[in-house]
Structure 1
Amino acid sequence: MVKSLPPRSAVAVEETWNLEDLFKTEDAYNEAIKDVQATVAAFAERFKGNMTDDSSVIEAIDGYAAIMGKLVPIGAYTNLALSVDQTNDEAQMRASKFGSIASKLGSQLAFFSSEISELPIELLEKAMEQSAEYKNYLEELIRQKPYKLHPEVERTLAALSSVLNAPYGLYDTTKLVDMKFDDFEVHGEKFPLSYISFEGGWEQEPDTEKRRAAYDAFHAKLKEYQHTQAKTYDMQLQKEKTISDLRGYDTVFDSLLFNQEVDRSMYDRQIDLIMNELAPHMRKYAKLLQKVHCLDEMTFSDLKVPLDPNYEPKITIEESKKYIKESLAIMGDDYMDMVNRSYDERWTDFAQNVGKSTGAFCSSPYGTHPYILISWTGSMEDVFVLAHELGHAGHFYNAHQHQNYFNSRPSTYFIEAPSTMNEMLVANHLLSNSDDPKFKRWVISSIVARTYYHNFVTHLLEAAYQRKVYERIDAGGSVNANVLNNLKRGVLEEFWGDDVKINEGAELTWMRQPHYYMGLYPYTYSAGLTISTQVSKRILSEGQPAVEDWLKVLQAGGTKPPAELSKMAGVDITTEQPLKDTIAYIGDLIDQLVELTEEIEGVTI
């Protein structure tokens, strides 16, 4: 039974992360802010209007990198402290105060990128010759030149950053602070409900009556906030469209894909191929779930139910170490040292508590170690999620060791490849350690229901919906709750066809994800998993040489665009073949589930 969540003050310290690695005390945090404020003022005094030759450009970049080195841990501490308890007044006030300070600092620093971007290309190229370390950064500045605005406009936009970023904060506040869920009732018995308990428990509840009742109660509460959330989202969309137009992009898609170093064809292909070619396989999976669970009809509220809930092992945090370490050992000693440290030094916040951000993420502030947020429920899914986030951690752990601040972060298109790679390594390890049909079915169903469903279905359907939203915005339109509901329902119906009933509430799924405040992010999950699926198959067949190639990719950070990083790992994402191969692989996994179910239970699908 899902329990009510405790307040943050009641959770065990060993299940929380240790932010003292960023700042040991609040006084140290405040002193760091004063220090960076003074540093920024001195930097502006020294370099504003004075970047006139290659030497002064390199010196200015050095100074700017040093400032970022001071700002990053401050921002990380501020955001991480708030993410574990959005109800904490001190954390809220600290975040609000730093937001204002960061806006002011951003305004003071805006001259740097503006003035350096306005320098002649010949001067920037000369600076590259003087400093190979900053070559990638300077090349990117040249690439951005056509879309830079007047320095005063850039400064104004920087000064308004806290206001321009307000929609995301408002979304989180509405979702995690204001939205309170009542208990729901089944046969006279009441059960507690929250965002975390629904997404981490009730959505996968094997008892159909409880699962569907939780679904109805959860979406009834979402519906009460749909108009506020829609207005918040429209603010975000109008901001993005306005800035896109100001900078001279042809479409908002071009604006949002620019920093990903991806063209529109790669973006559209990812959505179109999966919507068309994966859908039949997933409908077959839905029919399998319906048959096994003897459901009167297959509804949207049933899609997350485990294929064999009775076989699902409960996993403690301590027990997760064995699975994680054995699965990722192939990555080598340095990688495993990172994994061990993550447990020993409390890099991960496992606790479940009121006000904690939903889902999971990895924050990797440059200059210190990564931090992982997860709400541990004790299911095997948590092991896959933790492996996923450790994939992000391992990526930046490697990149930060080999690249400077400017070169460490790759395109968003590639960002989910290292994380989903670790999920594949866990799955491959589990499959290689047993011939038992029930265990094999459980592992494969975990891959399909979690790794691929999450990345190739949940997030991909977000992407297909998001594309329709931006097409509307690009045409000069706006959105409200009714528009968003209709667009979301249409995408769900297109993908699932007549095989799944899209019951009431499903159209509100757009309210559940923060990804819409992060640009064209949702489609990158399937892009990353396409890459990692192909690389994991290489590792299975080739062993250490493929691992070494992958580690070099991680170490390369953001020094190459995603197509080149993928090519380093042996995958050509400029063609549709890797995606087609991955879709076929998913189809093969589902076929195996059908065969295993027929063998184990005598059920014919």
Structure 2
Amino acid sequence: MSTVKRSDVTLQETWNLQDLFTTEEAYTAAIADLKAIVDEAATSLAGIITDADGAIKAIEATEKIREKMIPIGTYANLAISVEQTNTENQLRSAGFGSLAAAIATKLSFVTSDLLALDEAVLKEAQNVKPEYKNFIDKLLVQKPHQLHPQAEKALAAFGATFNAPYELYNTTKLVDMQFPNFEVDGESYPMSYNLFEGDWELETDTEKRRAAFDAFSSKLRDYQHTTAKTYNTHIQMEKTEADLRGYESIFDSLLQDQEVDRTMYDRQIDLITSELAPHMRRYAKLIQKSHNLDSMTFADLKISLDPTYEPKITIEESRKYMKDGLAIMGEDYAYMLDRSFDERWIDFAQNAGKSTGAFCSSPYGVHPYILISWTSRMNEVFVLAHELGHAGHFYLANDAQNIFNARSSLYFIEAPSTMNEMLMANYLLKNSTDARFKRWVISTIISRTYYHNFVTHLLEAAYQRKVYEIVDTGGTVNAPKLNELKREVLEAFWGDTVEINEGAELTWMRQPHYYMGLYPYTYSAGLTISTQVYRRISSGDESAVADWIEVLKAGGTKTPLELAQLAGVDISTEQPLHDTIAFIGELITQLEELTAEIETKI
């Protein structure tokens, strides 16, 4: 294990940002072009947004500006995400933030003028230009919460400032927070964010794993107060804006864009917390028994059930798994997979200053980009399949829809990604009769797909809800309070099955999703939908894949409820969630039975 400089990694393991801009000069020229278009729009649209024709001209100008702006922002964000410590990247990212705020300020009158129109005028514009229906529908939802034009302009001017907490969080985490080596039995081992989350957290040697957890937590603890202050600043700004705009609560404000109500949000958290906990406690006991652990601690929850049956895998071998495992999605999807490897859409490298975890960015008009830190562990097949699920979604949606219609609700966004994990697991299970391999696959579905999305992110959501409830009633939070809330959530879910050892309460510091609204709970929401669609596919329903492809192409033209319905799932009721939790329970039962079968043969 080592952490190398970005300049020392293999080119083929990095993504090709030249598909966005061939040179830095081209990037600078694009900014100049964008500024000219914005200036032209600011002049030509002033005073003309008074009827349907003026509204259409304003929306057309907005569309053109967004199409120009997205690759610029993507270039700045992707460059810094792989090397946060690079001064040039830092300045470029900050520069784009200032540019975006300046543009929003200059054009804030456009939205204000559109929302000042009677609803009938906006409806008329929809009839003339049906492709703008989605954009106008979202405007109409926003209409009751629009402020005076001068207030909107002032808020727009603070755009870069409002993004500051997230930027401070990343700077603290990936630039300032330097981890010293840790020692076990006199031997020294390297530590970093990516090394801990990609390797040490999964380490099968109990002494090393727990020592790594303690060392990692110790460094987090050094920065807990700064990180808590940063987070409190972020949520206080969200609360202030929600109040200014007249929302009843911060939850209503944040859920509006997701096109779901508080009932669906609360149901996801409450049902999983209560019904899934007994199943996951069985899984924790199975890990403890398989590893012969004296006690089961929070630091042990990510380890493989059978670590001797997790082969190493190369990047090129992962490509074959993607092609074979996702072949059911059709030729167009397979072509996208080939392009992602051939054209370097994926950044595999492990280097200092690189963002943790994995993500997919899908700039409209270009192609998706995927960030992952490749560890050569077999479970990376599931991580890569997950991110390629996002890529495939927007590859299809961006091609089928205009820029206003391409992006689906955050509530649905994790369904295509988790679907790919399920398809990959199904492929692996079908191609082996070996009990140990089957146990490895099923345990990976539990530990990677369901633990990560249905437990880790769900418990983050339960914690986040507690934080927002405090803020919504006028309170504030600090590090001791956040630690207390996180520990409460963990202890309630795991009961006396898992020891919530010191340091576990600091895991709230590790998640950037808290700076992205009510994001964490959407993982379980998306996985609920994808599990039910996967069950349709695996049962032999011949129309299931075709339906799913149409759902992906629909992008944001339908609500999450409508998208799920198109895929054959009714999320207006609790039943899909009950069924999904029961499915997880069945998988854990299979693990218990396979383990008993294997042990009798030893």
Give the TM-score normalised by structure 1: 0.99
**Aligned pairs, number:** 602
Report the counterpart of residue 367 of structure 2 in structure 1.
Answer: 369
Report the counterpart of residue 64 of structure 1 in structure 2.
Answer: 62
The Cα of 1:48 is off from its aligned counterpart by 2.1
Report the counterpart of residue 217 of structure 1 in structure 2.
Answer: 215
Report the counterpart of residue 511 of structure 2 in structure 1.
Answer: 513
Counterpart of 1:149, as a letter, is L
DSSP 3-state at the match of 1:379: coil
Report the counterpart of residue 232 of structure 2 in structure 1.
Answer: 234
Quick check: 1:448–1:586 contact (8 Å CA) kept in 2?
yes
The Cα of 1:370 is off from its aligned counterpart by 0.4
Counterpart of 2:161, as a letter, is V
Deviations 1:396-451 (A, max 9, x none): 11111111100111110000000000000000111111111011100000100000
Report the counterpart of residue 194 of structure 1 in structure 2.
Answer: 192
Q: Extract unaligned runs of 5+ from structure 2.
A: none
Q: Which residues in structure 2 correspond to 1:412-431 (within 5 Å)?
A: 412-431=410-429
Report the counterpart of residue 112 of structure 2 in structure 1.
Answer: 114
Check if 1:137 corresponds to 2:128. no
Question: 2:548 pairs with 547, 550, 554, which one?
Answer: 550
Report the counterpart of residue 466 of structure 2 in structure 1.
Answer: 468
Matched residues in 1 for 2:329 and 2:149: separation? 46
Report the counterpart of residue 459 of structure 1 in structure 2.
Answer: 457
The Cα of 1:540 is off from its aligned counterpart by 1.1
The Cα of 1:494 is off from its aligned counterpart by 0.1
Deviations 1:17-76 (A, max 9, x none): 000000000000000000100100110100022112212211221111011000000000
Quick check: 2:385–2:424 contact (8 Å CA) kept in 1?
yes
The Cα of 1:543 is off from its aligned counterpart by 4.3
Question: 1:313 pairs with 311, 320, 326, which one?
Answer: 311
Residues 603 and 436 of structure 1: CA distance in aligned 2, closer, same or farther (over 3 Å):
closer
Report the counterpart of residue 435 of structure 2 in structure 1.
Answer: 437
Question: 1:208 pairs with 187, 206, 217, which one?
Answer: 206
The Cα of 1:533 is off from its aligned counterpart by 0.3
DSSP 3-state at the match of 1:413: coil
Check if 1:589 corresponds to 2:593. no
Deviations 1:128-180 (A, max 9, x none): 11011111111111111101111111111111000011000000000000000
Q: Which residues in structure 2 correspond to 1:381-392 (within 5 Å)?
A: 381-392=379-390
Matched residues in 1 for 2:456 and 2:137: separation? 36
Matched residues in 2 for 1:142 and 1:355: separation? 42
Matched residues in 1 for 2:346 and 2:558: separation? 30
The Cα of 1:544 is off from its aligned counterpart by 3.6
Deviations 1:94-145 (A, max 9, x none): 1111211111011112111111111110100111110111111111111111
Quick check: 2:483–2:505 contact (8 Å CA) kept in 1?
yes
Matched residues in 2 for 1:506 and 1:602: separation? 36
Counterpart of 2:469, as a letter, is E
Report the counterpart of residue 125 of structure 1 in structure 2.
Answer: 123
Q: Which residues in structure 2 correspond to 1:175-324 (within 5 Å)?
A: 175-324=173-322
Give the TM-score normalised by structure 2: 0.99
Deviations 1:221-261 (A, max 9, x none): 00000000000000001000000000000000000001101
DSSP 3-state at the match of 1:407: coil
Quick check: 2:51–2:117 contact (8 Å CA) kept in 1?
no
Matched residues in 1 for 2:563 and 2:518: separation? 20
Runs of 4+ deviating beyond 6 Å? none
DSSP 3-state at the match of 2:360: strand
Residues 475 and 215 of structure 1: CA distance in aligned 2, closer, same or farther (over 3 Å):
same
Matched residues in 2 for 1:259 and 1:200: separation? 33
Question: 2:340 pairs with 339, 342, 358, which one?
Answer: 342
Quick check: 2:285–2:296 contact (8 Å CA) kept in 1?
yes
Percent identity, aligned pairs only?
A: 66
Quick check: 1:164–1:239 contact (8 Å CA) kept in 2?
yes
Matched residues in 1 for 2:142 and 2:557: separation? 16
DSSP 3-state at the match of 1:405: coil
RMSD: 1.0
Matched residues in 1 for 2:47 and 2:600: separation? 78
Matched residues in 2 for 1:109 and 1:554: separation? 32
Matched residues in 2 for 1:456 and 1:420: separation? 11
Matched residues in 2 for 1:181 and 1:138: separation? 49
Quick check: 1:114–1:151 contact (8 Å CA) kept in 2?
yes
